[in-house]
Amino acid sequence: TKPRVVLLGLGAMGAALGRAWLAAGYPVTVWNRTAARAEPLRALGADVAGTAAEAVAAGPLVVTCLLDDASVEEALAGADLHGRDLVDLTTGTPDQADARAAWAQNRGARFLSGGVMAVPPMVGVPEAGGYVFYGGSRAVFDRHRSALAAPLGVHFAGARPGAAALYDIALLSAMNGMLAGITHAFALVRGEEMPLKEFAGLLTSWLSAMASAADTMAEQIDSGDYTRDVVSNLAMQVSGNRTLAAAARERGVDFRLLAPYSELLAERLAQGFADEDGTGALELLVERS
């Protein structure tokens, strides 16, 4: 028999998780601040608790998926967490996750923090490739691994609770850079002959091919040698970026999404690192204590 999952928070993500656990045959107890949002889950077989405290009392595995870290504290304020395994899938910063872990431990709970790398339609659909980074108690992760793996894939990121949030945020940050680049590219080509759908296909394959740069960059960062396996030296890249900026001007497109990265590379070049790859610019980002 499958263990009960207690789920607090039935927003878009929480509701999707609840449906996936029910579909996988887990008994589920749900609670949501706005009670009406629990009714669709009740119709699918969930038990509905009237208060968060009542929900937490229903079973040892308690999953929170709320708006932000402050709402987790607010929701759990009156609940007895003693002996509970609290798995918090609410997005927060690494420091918030570490502090929430200490908070939970002070209340007698074991704590695992999760960073969800999926949107709700990917939940319960293994082919979609969504997963959750987990950080914190390895014992909680191992004990509930089957239940945790029912809605989404699982990836243990480290014993520090904040590790899950850190990797989550690192991936989202990289995605934002990519989306900025795509936005700029569409601004350049909009109105040209090639249908944008066709251009989108070219963009997707180009970005997929270029994404493997991450492997080389990881090796360069690990070795501390940014001149290793250089394909596009920094002097050439800075010159190329001037061409990108000039082309944007010609087309009447604001260069502001790409200007910060171009300026960073130019600053590194001005420090005398012409033979490096662009990876060395990372040194300008990281505060040194």
Q: How far is the CB of 78 from ligand NDP (least distance, A)?
A: 12
| String marking each residue 145-174 x if it binds ligand NDP according to CB under 6 A | ------------------------------
SS3 149: coil
User: Is residue 33 near ligand NDP by the rule CB under 6 A?
Assistant: yes
User: Is residue 14 near ligand NDP by the rule CB under 6 A?
Assistant: yes
Whole-angstrom Cα Rg for the chain: 23
Q: Which residues are CB-contacts of 6 (< 8 A; sequence separation ≥ 6)?
A: 28, 29, 30, 31, 49, 55, 56, 58, 59, 61, 62, 63
Q: How far is the CB of 91 from ligand NDP (least distance, A)?
A: 3
User: Is residue 65 near ligand NDP by the rule CB under 6 A?
Assistant: yes
Residue 117: both structure tokens together = 């790398």
Which position among 5, 56, 62, 91 is part of the footprint of ligand NDP (CB under 6 A)? 91
SS3 241: helix
Q: How far is the CB of 151 from ligand NDP (least distance, A)?
A: 12
Residues that contact ligand NDP, how many (by CB under 6 A)? 22
Q: How far is the CB of 180 from ligand NDP (least distance, A)?
A: 19
* b/e per residue 206-241 (b: at least 16 CB within 10 A): eeeeeeeeeeebeebeeeeebbeebeebbeebbeeb
Q: Is residue 78 within 8 Å of residue 53, measured between CB atoms? A: yes
Which position among 20, 56, 63, 90 is part of the footprint of ligand NDP (CB under 6 A)? 90
In angstroms, the CA 114 to CA 14 distance is: 13
How is residue 4 annotated by DSSP? P
71/105 with CB nearer ligand NDP: 71
41/116 with CB nearer ligand NDP: 116
Residue 79: both structure tokens together = 């609940």
Residue nearest to ligand NDP (CB): 11
In angstroms, the CA 10 to CA 67 distance is: 10
In angstroms, the CA 98 to CA 165 distance is: 10
Stretch that binds ligand NDP, among 28-36, 95-103, 152-160, 194-202 (CB under 6 A): 28-36
Q: How far is the CB of 158 from ligand NDP (least distance, A)?
A: 19
Q: Is residue 156 within 8 Å of residue 141, measured between CB atoms? A: yes
Q: Is residue 252 within 8 Å of residue 231, measured between CB atoms? A: no
User: Is residue 66 near ligand NDP by the rule CB under 6 A?
Assistant: yes
14/162 with CB nearer ligand NDP: 14
In the complex, the residues that contact ligand NDP under the rule CB under 6 A are 9-14, 32-34, 37, 65-68, 71, 74-75, 90-91, 116, 119-120
